[in-house]
Amino acid sequence: MIQLKRAYEDASKDDGLRILVERLWPRGVTKEQAAIDLWLKDVAPSTELRKWYGHDPDRWPEFQKRYRADLKKLGDLLVLLRFLTDERKVTFVYAASDEQRNSAIVLKAFLERPSKSP
């Protein structure tokens, strides 16, 4: 089970394994506040994709498409993520202020869909 939570929300025991899925550390959040168990920078969108998207709602559909294409190239990292999310409760921690359109949503949906290969 994968949950999503902003980095600016309080950590909870109900979060399970807290994985930061951002390339950059959330601004203004201390390591103690974030209570991150694992930081997987490489599953976050590339710097180029993140800057291109710029949280522009009009670019959301294309962002999702490009990010999913990048995720398909992660190989062993995807295998690890699928294992972690299949074995325990996991919370993907993200920094974006838009709770409806962010990379953590795309990553969660990508991992939860049935797949024959990573």
The pLDDT assigned to 47 comes to: 95
Residues 41, 65: Cα–Cα separation, whole Å? 19
Question: 46 pLDDT exceeds 90?
Answer: yes
Instruction: Tell me which of 117 and 52 has the higher pLDDT.
Output: 52
Residues 90, 4: Cα–Cα separation, whole Å? 8
Question: Would you place residue 115 in the very low, low, confident or very high pLDDT band (cuts 50, 70, 90)?
Answer: low
The pLDDT assigned to 71 comes to: 96
Question: 116 pLDDT exceeds 70?
Answer: no
